[in-house]
Amino acid sequence: MKITTKVELGIVVLTDIALYSENGQVVRSSEIADRQNISHKYLEQILLGLRQGKFVKGQKGIHGGYQLSRPANRILLCDILNALDNNILANTYEADDQQAVDIRTSVNNCLWSNFNSYMRRFTENMTLEDLIKDYKESSGKQKDYMYYI
């Protein structure tokens, strides 16, 4: 399975906004770009997709930036994936000639249909809040090592 950079960074950007806007603050795109090492031009394309998907809302002006449009526990991973690339969770099987139909049908039913069903269920049960919790737990486990020479 190939995940585009836009989808991967879209999830990262959405998580960044969720983390840094927890107290009702807005998050500037320049701050996101710096923290996540994303070019400003590419970030604007990602933010456009997130705005169109109604995950974030923008505030214009000198104190402008982005916030989540709804709580992180109400943003499903499947919705994010579908908004940024609707091919990820889509069925990919298409029969193109009669002789291959039987084998392809069997492979589709046994492998790809089950795989797609699992991915849909998995992403329908994971929220942005789950990603945030995991990030906070893993960042709290990082240890500072002291090296002696």
Q: Is residue 83 in some structural domain?
A: yes
CATH number at residue 103: 1.10.10.10
pLDDT of residue 133: 94
What domain range is 82 assigned to? 5-140
Tell me if 148 is assigned to some domain: no
pLDDT at 116: 84
Number of domains into which the chain is organized: 1
Residue 53 lies in a domain: yes
Burial class (CB in 10 A: 0-12, 13-18, 19+), 104: middle
Q: Is residue 28 included in any domain, yes or no? A: yes
The pLDDT score that the predictor gives to residue 143 is: 54
Task: Flag whether 61 is in a domain.
Answer: yes
Report the pLDDT value the prediction gives residue 103, as an integer from 0 to 100: 84
Domain assignment present for residue 149? The answer is no
Give a yes or no: residue 10 inside a domain.
yes
| Block mean pLDDT (10 aa), the chain, length 149 | 87 96 90 95 94 92 90 95 84 56 79 85 94 88 57
* pTM, 2 dp: 0.80
In a domain, 146, yes or no: no
